[in-house]
C-alpha cells in the first residue's frame, strides 16, 4: 500500500477557509483545541463563522480568540460562561448563541457523523431546551427529538497521527474530537507527531484515518 | 468552618463506599477532603474520564478537570470521548452528582444555569447530570447574599431539570424529597426550626426523625 | 484506594442465573463471546432465556450451543444463518426470533446503556423492518424510531482486565462488548488476564471498570 | 474465467484509488485479486475494523472477517466497536459496498436477505450498508440456477433497502441506475442484447454509449 502521507501546510489549509463557513472544533476549555489552526483562521481574516464546540474557552485561549476578534456570527455550544466576550456580544445582539446541553451536543454531532436522523433524550424535558422541538413519549417517559449537527469543516487536535490519518488523542484532550471526525465535509487534525503507518497500535487508534482529510504538524510554519 | 466547608463536609457523609460521583465546580470540589476514611469513591469528570484525583506535583499535559483546571488521576483511570462520558452520565451509571443551585423548589425542580438578561453561562453538563444521575444533591448556601430565599415554592429562573433533586444540603439544614414531598431531615447545630422557616419559602414537612445535622466529630 | 478485586468464580456467577432472564452476549461469529460463561450457562440448566447479540454462531460454538440445547425462548439478533438450528426452531415455532439490522442493533443497545429513548435511523425504511414502528420525517427523509434494548445480564469477553474491572478487548473481538457493558443490570466479563489497577494504559481502556460488576478469569475452575 | 470470477474482475474495475470499500461475503471477496495495480483500496469489515488484508501465514487470534474467517490486516489498521463500525457505514464514510443479490428491480430495490418460509438468515449488516454506502454495487449471476430472471420489474422478496442500488454487474452485463432509470451500460463479450433481454424481466434502456464489458486485457 503506497498511501501518500496526508500532511499539508497551513497555507494549503488556508485555501479552504471561506467566509460564512461552519466549523466543528474539538476541545474542552481549550484542551483538545488545535490552537495553531485557530490562530491561522484568525490570521486569514475569515469571518461570519458558525462555530460548534463544547465551550468558547476564554477571550485569549482556544476558540475564544475568534470571538474576541469578532470573526464569529453564530456559536453552538454548551457553555460560554468562561468567555465574557461571548456573553457580551450575545446580549448586544452581535452574535447568535445556541446553548445545547453537553451530552445532547455530543449526541447531535455523533448523529451528524453516523447517518442518524436524531436521538431521543430525556435531557431538557421540562426546560426551555424543549422549545420548538418534537417530543415523543414511550412508556410514560417524555423525550426530546434532538437533530444532527454537521459542519463544513472539523478542526481537531490529535496527539499522535500516522501518515494515513489514524489519530490518537491524549488524556482529557480527546473529548469531542473523535465525534467531530465523522461529522464534517472536510476534517483536518493538528497533531504533535506524525509517524509511519503501522506505528500506532491498531487497538489504540481513536479516529480511523479514512475519516481524516489532512494532517498539520504542530508548530509547522 | 465556614458555610461552604460545612456544606461540603455534610455532603461528604452522603457518599457510600464505591460510589461513582460527579462533582460540579466550586463548592462541590471541596467534598473529597471530608470523606470518611472508609469511603472510597470514583470521581467522574464530564470532560472525559473516570479516576479524577488531586493534583500532586506538576500539572500533567492535557489532564484537567471539568472546570479546565489541572488535576491528577488515580491508578485505574479510564479516558473516553464526550459521547461515552455522557452515555455514562445519562445512562444512570453515576451514583451521585453534587451541584450548586440558584433556586430549588418544593417539587424538586432545580435552576442553576442562567439568569435571563444577566448571566447566561450555559448549562454545560448540568442538565444531563441532573437528568441522569441516580442521586442528585444540591449543595448551596441557604439564602442569597441579600438574604433572599433560594428554596422556593416554585423556581422563577429557567430550570436545569424538572423534579430530579433528591436532597438539598445547606449550612442550615438537610432536606430530602420523599414521595414527592420536601422533608426537613436535619438541622445544623445552633439553628432553630424558626430560623429555617424564616429563610425558606418552600412548603416543607418536618420529618418525625428530624435530628441535628450529622457531621463527623 | 483499596478497591477490592472484582474477580469471582463461576459458582458465584451461577447463583445469578435465573430461568427466563435476558442476556446480552458479546461476540461476532463467536469471536468476542465468553465461551466459559456460555458453557456454564449450559451446565447450570437455566432455560427460557432471551439472548441478544449479533448472531447465533453455530450449533457447537459461541452462544449457539444454548440454542442447540434448547435453552432459549427468544433471540434478538442480526443474523442467524450460520446456525441452522436457530432457523429450524424458528420455523417450527419453538423459539421467537427478532431480526434487527446490525447497525440498528448496535444503536439500540447503545441507547439502552446511554439513557436515550431511541434513535432515528434511515436503515430499514421501505422494508419489513419498519412494521409497527414510529416513523418521523425531517427535510424529506424518513427515519424509523428504534427503541433501546437492555437486559438483566451482559456477558462479555475481555482480553485484559484490571482488578477494578477496566477492560480491553483484542482486535475484532471488541464488536458489541463495549456497548453491552452499559446496557445490563449486571455485567460480567470473562478475561484472559487480570492485572493490577494502573497496569492498563488509561488511554487504552475500552470499558471503564465502574460498568463491570464482576470478572471471571478464563479457564478458572 | 468462470462467471463469479468474471463478475469480480469487472467490479474491481469500478474501484478508484483510495476508496473505502466493504465487500459482502462470497463472490465480492474475490474482488481484491482483480484490482488494477495502481488502485489501492481500504477494506472495511463491519465486525469492527478498517484495514482488512489477506491472511498471510498462521491465523492471528481474534482477527476474522465479517464471515468469521481468519484474515490479515495491513499497516495502519484501526479496530473499533460495532457502534463505530456502523457509524462509519451509515454515515456515508464507506465509498463502495459490493453485495450479492437474490433480486434487484428496475427501481433500484434490492432483496438479498430472506426467502420467507425457506431461508431466513437475517440481514446482518446489509441493510445498513445498502442504506449508507455512497455507491452500492450488486454483484451477482444474471439468472437463477434454473434460468429465472433476478433483475425484475418489482422485487417479490422482502427488500434489503429501497431505491439504493447504483450498479448491477453480472456475467452478461453492467447496468446503472441513472436518474431513476435502469440503463444497460455494457455487454459481455460474446453476449447479444437479445440474450440479455431474454434473461432480464426489468424494463431498461440501452445507453447510447453501451459498449463491450470493460475487462483488463
Which domains are assigned to chain C?
6-117+148-217 (3.40.1080.10)
Looking at chain C, the number of H-run helices and the number of E-run strands are 6, 13
- Domains in chain D, ordered, with CATH? 3-212 (3.40.1080.10)
Test mutation, C117, C125, C208, chain A, max A CBs within 10 A: C117
Asked if pLDDT for residue A221 goes beyond 90, the answer is no
Summarize pLDDT for A111-126 with one digit per residue, the tens: 999 999 999 999 999 9
pLDDT > 70 fraction of chain D, expressed in percent and rounded: 100
Alpha carbon of D20: minimum distance to chain A alpha carbons (Å): 7
**CB-based contact B62 A32, cutoff 8 Å:** yes
Summarize pLDDT for B112-126 with one digit per residue, the tens: 999 998 889 999 999
**CB-based contact D76 A211, cutoff 8 Å:** no
Helix, strand, coil distribution of chain A in percent, nearest 5? 25, 30, 45
Residue of D nearest to C54 (CA): D124
**CB-based contact C119 A141, cutoff 8 Å:** no
Asked if pLDDT for residue A1 goes beyond 70, the answer is no
Pairing of strands C194-195, C214-217: unpaired
Contacts of A118 in chain D (CB under 8 A): none
pLDDT bin (cut points 50, 70, 90) of residue A219 is confident
Asked if D47 has any chain A CB less than 8 Å from its own CB, the reply is no
Out of B62, B66, B120, closest to residue A170 by CB: B62
C48-52, C141-145, C158-162, D212-216: least confidently modelled range: D212-216
Query: Cα angle at D12 between D182 and D69, to 5 degrees?
Result: 110
Please answer whether residues D68 and C29 qualify as being in contact, where contact means their C-beta atoms are separated by less than 8 angstroms.
yes
Asked if pLDDT for residue D134 goes beyond 90, the answer is yes
**CB-based contact C174 D48, cutoff 8 Å:** yes
Residue D192 CB neighbours (<10 A)? 10
**CB-based contact A117 C143, cutoff 8 Å:** yes
A135-138 β-sheet, strand order: A135-138, A141-146, A118-121, C118-121, C141-146, C135-138
**CB-based contact C119 A122, cutoff 8 Å:** no
Out of C134, C138, C170, closest to residue A117 by CB: C138
Alpha carbon of A17: minimum distance to chain B alpha carbons (Å): 27
Furthest C-alpha separation in chain A: 58
**Number of residue pairs across A and B with CB atoms under 8 Å?**
149
Out of C122, C145, C201, closest to residue A115 by CB: C122
Summarize pLDDT for C172-192 with one digit per residue, the tens: 999 999 999 999 999 999 999
CA distance linking residue B159 with residue B116, whole number of Å = 12
Query: Cα angle at B130 between B128 and B131, to 5 degrees?
Result: 60
Alpha carbon of D161: minimum distance to chain A alpha carbons (Å): 15
Asked if C115 has any chain A CB less than 8 Å from its own CB, the reply is yes
Summarize pLDDT for C74-106 with one digit per residue, the tens: 999 999 999 999 999 999 999 999 999 999 999
Active site residue D212: no
CA distance linking residue D124 with residue C101, whole number of Å = 6
Summarize pLDDT for D65-104 with one digit per residue, the tens: 999 999 999 999 999 999 999 999 999 999 999 999 999 9
Summarize pLDDT for B70-89 with one digit per residue, the tens: 999 999 999 999 999 999 99
Residue of B nearest to C195 (CA): B76
The catalytic residue among B46, B107, B194, B212 is B46
Compute the mean pLDDT over every residue in chain C, rounded to the nearest whole number: 97
D152 strand-pairing partners: D105
Burial class (CB in 10 A: 0-12, 13-18, 19+), A151: buried
Please tell me the number of Cα atoms within 13 Å of B89 on its side-chain side: 37
Q: What is the mean pLDDT of residues C51-58?
A: 98
**CB-based contact A117 C171, cutoff 8 Å:** no
The catalytic residue among D14, D37, D46, D107 is D46
Alpha carbon of A67: minimum distance to chain C alpha carbons (Å): 31
Alpha carbon of C206: minimum distance to chain A alpha carbons (Å): 9
CA B201 to chain centre: 20
Asked if D51 has any chain A CB less than 8 Å from its own CB, the reply is yes
CA distance linking residue C94 with residue C97, whole number of Å = 10
Query: Cα angle at B51 between B4 and B25, to 5 degrees?
Result: 30
Q: What is the mean pLDDT of residues C188-211?
A: 98
Asked if pLDDT for residue D125 goes beyond 80, the answer is yes
Furthest C-alpha separation in chain B: 52
Compute the mean pLDDT over every residue in chain A, rounded to the nearest whole number: 97
CA distance linking residue C31 with residue C61, whole number of Å = 10
Please answer whether residues A17 and A196 qualify as being in contact, where contact means their C-beta atoms are separated by less than 8 angstroms.
no
Amino acid at each position: 500500500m503506497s498511501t501518500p502521507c496526508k500532511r499539508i501546510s497551513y497555507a494549503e489549509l488556508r485555501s479552504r477557509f471561506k467566509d460564512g463557513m461552519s466549523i466543528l472544533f474539538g476541545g474542552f476549555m481549550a484542551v483538545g483545541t488545535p490552537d495553531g489552526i485557530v490562530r491561522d483562521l484568525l490570521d486569514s481574516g475569515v469571518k461570519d463563522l458558525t462555530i460548534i464546540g463544547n465551550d468558547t474557552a476564554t477571550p485569549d485561549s482556544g476558540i475564544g480568540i475568534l470571538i474576541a476578534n469578532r470573526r464569529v456570527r453564530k456559536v453552538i455550544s454548551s457553555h460560554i460562561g468562561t468567555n465574557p466576550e461571548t456573553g457580551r456580544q450575545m446580549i448586544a445582539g452581535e452574535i447568535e448563541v445556541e446553548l445545547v446541553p453537553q451530552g445532547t451536543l455530543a449526541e447531535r454531532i455523533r448523529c451528524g457523523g453516523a447517518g442518524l436522523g436524531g436521538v431521543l433524550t430525556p435531557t431538557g424535558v421540562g426546560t426551555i431546551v424543549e422549545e420548538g422541538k418534537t417530543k415523543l413519549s414511550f412508556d410514560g417517559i417524555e423525550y426530546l427529538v434532538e437533530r444532527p449537527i454537521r459542519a463544513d469543516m472539523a478542526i481537531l487536535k490529535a496527539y499522535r497521527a500516522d501518515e494515513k490519518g489514524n489519530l490518537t488523542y491524549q488524556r482529557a484532550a480527546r473529548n469531542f474530537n473523535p465525534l467531530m471526525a465523522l461529522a464534517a465535509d472536510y476534517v483536518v487534525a493538528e497533531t504533535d507527531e506524525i509517524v509511519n503507518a503501522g506505528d500506532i497500535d491498531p487497538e489504540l487508534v481513536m479516529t480511523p484515518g479514512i475519516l481524516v482529510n489532512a494532517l498539520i504538524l504542530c508548530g509547522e510554519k | 468552618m465556614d458555610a461552604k466547608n460545612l456544606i461540603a463536609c455534610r455532603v461528604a457523609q452522603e457518599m457510600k463506599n464505591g460510589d461513582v460521583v460527579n462533582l460540579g465546580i466550586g463548592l462541590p470540589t471541596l467534598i473529597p477532603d471530608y470523606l470518611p476514611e472508609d469511603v472510597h469513591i470514583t470521581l467522574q469528570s464530564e470532560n472525559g474520564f473516570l479516576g479524577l484525583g488531586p493534583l500532586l506535583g506538576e500539572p500533567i499535559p492535557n489532564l484537567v478537570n471539568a472546570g479546565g483546571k489541572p488535576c491528577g488521576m488515580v491508578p485505574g483511570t479510564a479516558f473516553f470521548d464526550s459521547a461515552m462520558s455522557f452515555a455514562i452520565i445519562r445512562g444512570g451509571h453515576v451514583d451521585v452528582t453534587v451541584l450548586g443551585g440558584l433556586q430549588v423548589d418544593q417539587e424538586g425542580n432545580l435552576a442553576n444555569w442562567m439568569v435571563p438578561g444577566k448571566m447566561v453561562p450555559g448549562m454545560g453538563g448540568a442538565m444531563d447530570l441532573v437528568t441522569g444521575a441516580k442521586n442528585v444533591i444540591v449543595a448551596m448556601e441557604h439564602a442569597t447574599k441579600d438574604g433572599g430565599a433560594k428554596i422556593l415554592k416554585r423556581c422563577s429562573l429557567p430550570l436545569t431539570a424538572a423534579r430530579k433533586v433528591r436532597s438539598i444540603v445547606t449550612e442550615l439544614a438537610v432536606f430530602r424529597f420523599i414521595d414527592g414531598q420536601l422533608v426537613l431531615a436535619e438541622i445544623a447545630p445552633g439553628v432553630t426550626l424558626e430560623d429555617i422557616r424564616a429563610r425558606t419559602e418552600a412548603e416543607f414537612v418536618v420529618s418525625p426523625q428530624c435530628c441535628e445535622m450529622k457531621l463527623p466529630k
